Amino acid sequence: MKSALLALLAGAAAWLAPAAAHAQMMHVDSNDWRQTDRHDVLQGSQAKPSFLVELRFGPYLPDIDSGVTGGTPFKDVFGYDCGTQTESSVTPRFAFGLEADYMAVRIPYVGAIGPGVGWSYTNFSALARDTKTPSICSGETTSLTIMPMHLSAVLRADELMRRTGIPIVPYGKFGVGMAWWRASDDFGTEQVCGTASATASCGGGAPVLSSGTGLTPSLHFALGGAIALNCLEPMTAARLDESTGVHHAYVFGEYYNDQLILSKNVMHVGVSSWVVGLAVDF
């Protein structure tokens, strides 16, 4: 009797062991960083929407002089070295920005699409030059602040990553932009000489336009690629997903272009440049 009972228990243990291992395996798979086996992130159009937030860094050099006939005012102001009294090309300035995308709809076997909104900031500064004797610089500083913004449709082709585990996500953006800018000196507003619409005089009676702030509309276009960092530490990424709701962390690189829509009576502060950064989706 005792031997029969032991045989029965051994048989039950042999039957339950694979089931327990399978249950444990399903728990690990459900936390797979690729999310291929998760029930809340489906492979079709029924997948839940997600948010993606980007922190962006890159060089910025506006194409202002292309919109000016018969002169290069941007280069004259920000490309002149008062110490050596030499003029050279303007060096791009550092720009940083933020972007938030709402990936509302999933396209089967392609990825997700939705609206995105972005904001960036950069600033140029240089010593002001004398209007009568341009080779002489004053102690006053001329500055130009630019804040580009855009509203775009964003397509992220992440199905390859979700289905195969290859941690690469190509993406594209297309929409409209608006750049806010402000030109000023230490005392407030920069005086720009030689313009037609003038209300005051500059030097020997040349007309003056007092330039303060403005908005420049544009079309926004971008292409980029992101690499998911979850593949480096899958289990850590799975625990982070469960505890915070952050599905993936990415590093990315992107080329973008802000093409001017209207060319008359606006300052050309648009740019063609690139950015790198970090992103998370949740």
* Confidence band for 134, pLDDT divided at 50, 70 and 90: low
pLDDT digit string, tens, across residues 29-61 = 444 544 444 433 333 334 678 999 999 999 999
pLDDT confidence bin for 72, thresholds 50/70/90: confident
Tell me what the mean pLDDT of segment 156-183 comes to.
93
Residues 245 and 51 sit within 8 Å (Cβ to Cβ): no
- Cα-Cα-Cα-Cα torsion 98, 102, 103, 105, nearest 10 degrees, comes to -160
- Separation CA 72–CA 91 (nearest Å): 15
Q: What order do you get walking across the sheet with 200-202 strand by strand?
A: 190-193, 206-211, 200-202
Q: Look at residues 100, 251, 114 and name the one whose alpha carbon lies nearest to residue 174.
A: 114
Predicted local distance difference test score (pLDDT) of residue 100: 98
DSSP string covering 116-127, please?
EEEEEEEEEEEE
Determine the Cα–Cα distance for residues 112 and 131; give it in Å rounded to an integer. 54
DSSP 198-245: -SEEETTTEEEEEE-EEEEEEEEEEEEEEEEGGGGSHHHHHHHHHHH-
Fold exhibited by the domain 42-281: Porin (2.40.160)
Q: Which residue has the higher pLDDT, 137 or 226?
A: 226
Q: What is the pLDDT of residue 44?
A: 35
Beta bridge partners of 267: none
* 180 vs 77: CA distance, rounded Å: 20
The β-bridge partners of 118 are 99, 150
- Per-residue pLDDT averaged across 157-169, rounded? 91
Q: Are 225 and 255 in contact (CB under 8 A)?
A: no
CB 56 within 8 A of CB 98: yes
**Residue-averaged pLDDT of the chain:** 77
Mean pLDDT throughout 111-127?
Answer: 95
Q: Please check whether residue 281 is in contact with residue 240, taking contact to mean a CB–CB distance below 8 angstroms.
A: no
Q: Where are the alpha helices (DSSP H) in the chain?
A: 2-30, 73-78, 159-164, 234-244
Domain assignments of the chain as residue spans, ordered by start: 1-30, 42-281
User: What is d(CA 249, CA 220) in angstroms, rounded to the nearest whole number?
Assistant: 25
Prediction pTM value: 0.74
The answer to whether 276 and 253 are in contact (CB under 8 A) is yes
